[in-house]
């Protein structure tokens, strides 16, 4: 059995791109692997240090994860800041992370450029904290998007460097978990690339039906097919991609045929698309609201999750301390 680990920063609500792109796969992964899914609230402090939002954001993502079907009985679901062992291992790994390589990290340079007044040390060592998250459970696989690949590469470096420095074969080299064929990339509603919360082109899992209808109605389209069997422009192709994930094969075929016969009416097409998105999200949205208001349940889930995560983390930390030469009197 392999160990799989994934973290998410609590900085906003989940959208259907997160759901079809990652969460659906997590549901399968948790059946077959030892999974750790956690909320990286310490990471979020590097850019969003607002005390009045932190807890709400954590509660939101946790409720959304649970509502999507992540199962605390099958996977270890926890909040990063509930596991103090991570902070200590982070301190230790920081001793082996060099300023030069940290300054060259793409995400650091980008964030530093966007926010020149808040280039803090936490931002600089973000990759070390992420490496700690992964190495503390000795994960085999980490499902990551393109933007996190460099961080995973650095994690492998730190693992190797640690092993080399202390002459041990202790940390594994975590690999990117490849969903292969199963990976669905949900495009945004604005004709551009991926759905992403920073692009403002999202349908959120908590969006009310009215909101979804409105967003889909406003999605970018063109003036219609140029003729029979015309190629689809990106904005239309994108809407078909979303339809492919939420609608029945018959519905998809129907609108494809209409497109090919140049008889498609975007109004009808969008109405159908909105309806099918609403069908998928409604049960999830209802569960999100139930869970979000269930303090007792959330307390139980986070306590038990922290306990399981700490068990694994403290074992690693104890071994790392020994390797590095710490001894008790």
Classify residue 329 by burial, with Cβ atoms within 10 Å: 0-12, 13-18, 19+.
Answer: exposed
Active-site pick, 28, 34, 74, 111: 111
Alpha-carbon distance 101 to 125, whole Å? 10
Q: Using the rule CB under 6 A, is 102 a contact of ligand TRP? A: no
What's the first-to-final CA gap in the chain, in angstroms?
38
Site for ligand TRP in 138-197 (CB under 6 A): 142, 144, 148
Strand partners of residue 141: 4, 175
Contact window for ligand TRP (CB under 6 A) among 5-13, 62-70, 178-186, 283-291:
5-13
Identify which of residues 107 and 163 has a Cβ nearer to ligand TRP in the complex. Answer: 107
User: Does residue 74 carry a catalytic annotation?
Assistant: no
Q: Are 174 and 152 in contact (CB under 8 A)?
A: yes
Least Å from the CB of residue 132 to ligand TRP: 8
Instruction: Collect all residues with Cβ–Cβ distance below 8 Å to 85 and sequence separation of at least 6.
Output: 136, 310, 313, 314, 316, 317
Site for ligand TRP in 12-41 (CB under 6 A): 40
Radius of gyration of the chain from Cα atoms? 22
Identify which of residues 64 and 213 has a Cβ nearer to ligand TRP in the complex. Answer: 64
Q: Using the rule CB under 6 A, is 7 a contact of ligand TRP? A: yes
Options 20, 26, 37, 43; binder of ligand TRP; rule CB under 6 A: 43
For residue 203, which phi and psi values (nearest 5 degrees)?
Answer: -110, 120
**Closest residue by beta carbon to ligand TRP:** 7
Identify which of residues 130 and 288 has a Cβ nearer to ligand TRP in the complex. Answer: 130
User: Does residue 111 carry a catalytic annotation?
Assistant: yes
How many residues bind ligand TRP (CB under 6 A)? The answer is 13
Options 3, 6, 13, 238; binder of ligand TRP; rule CB under 6 A: 6
Alpha-carbon distance 186 to 329, whole Å? 56
Least Å from the CB of residue 32 to ligand TRP: 19
- Three-state SS at 11: coil
Q: Are 33 and 5 in contact (CB under 8 A)?
A: no
Site for ligand TRP in 105-134 (CB under 6 A): 130, 133-134
Active-site pick, 28, 34, 74, 197: 197
Least Å from the CB of residue 41 to ligand TRP: 10
Task: Using the CB atoms, write b or e for 213-246: b if 16+ within 10 Å.
Answer: bebbeebbbeeebeeeeeeeeebbebbbebbebb
Active-site pick, 74, 172, 194, 308: 194
**Site residues (vs ligand TRP, CB under 6 A):** 5-9, 40, 43, 130, 133-134, 142, 144, 148
Just list the catalytic residues: 111, 194, 197
């Amino acid at each position: 059995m392999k160990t799989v680990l994934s973290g998410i920063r609590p900085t906003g609500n989940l959208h259907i791109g997160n759901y079809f792109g990652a969460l659906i796969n997590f549901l399968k992964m948790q059946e077959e692997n030892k999974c750790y899914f956690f909320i990286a609230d310490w990471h979020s402090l590097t850019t969003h240090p607002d005390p009045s939002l932190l807890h709400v954001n954590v509660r939101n993502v946790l409720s959304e994860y649970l509502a999507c079907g992540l199962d605390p009985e099958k996977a270890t679901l926890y909040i990063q800041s509930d596991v103090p062992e991570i902070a200590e291992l982070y301190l230790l790994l920081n001793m082996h992370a060099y300023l030069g390589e940290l300054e060259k990290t793409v995400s650091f340079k980008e964030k530093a450029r966007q926010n020149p007044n808040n280039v803090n040390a936490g931002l600089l060592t973000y990759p070390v904290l992420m490496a700690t998250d992964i190495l503390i459970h000795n994960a085999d696989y980490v499902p990551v998007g393109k933007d996190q690949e460099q961080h995973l590469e650095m994690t492998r470096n730190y693992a190797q460097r640690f092993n080399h420095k202390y002459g041990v074969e202790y940390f594994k080299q975590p690999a990117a978990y490849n969903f292969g064929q199963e990976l669905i990339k949900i495009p945004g509603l604005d004709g551009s690339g991926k759905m992403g919360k920073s692009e403002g082109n999202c349908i959120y899992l908590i969006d009310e039906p009215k909101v979804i209808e409105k967003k889909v109605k406003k999605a970018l389209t063109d003036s219609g097919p140029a003729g029979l069997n015309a190629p689809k422009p990106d904005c239309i192709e994108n809407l078909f991609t979303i339809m492919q994930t939420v609608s029945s094969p018959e519905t998809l075929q129907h609108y494809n045929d209409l497109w090919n016969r140049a008889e498609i009416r975007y109004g009808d097409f969008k109405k159908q698309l909105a309806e099918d998105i609403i069908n998928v999200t409604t049960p999830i949205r209802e569960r999100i609201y139930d869970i979000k208001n269930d303090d007792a349940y959330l307390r139980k889930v986070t306590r038990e999750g922290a306990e399981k995560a700490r068990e694994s983390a403290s074992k690693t930390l104890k071994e790392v301390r020994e390797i590095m030469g710490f001894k008790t009197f």
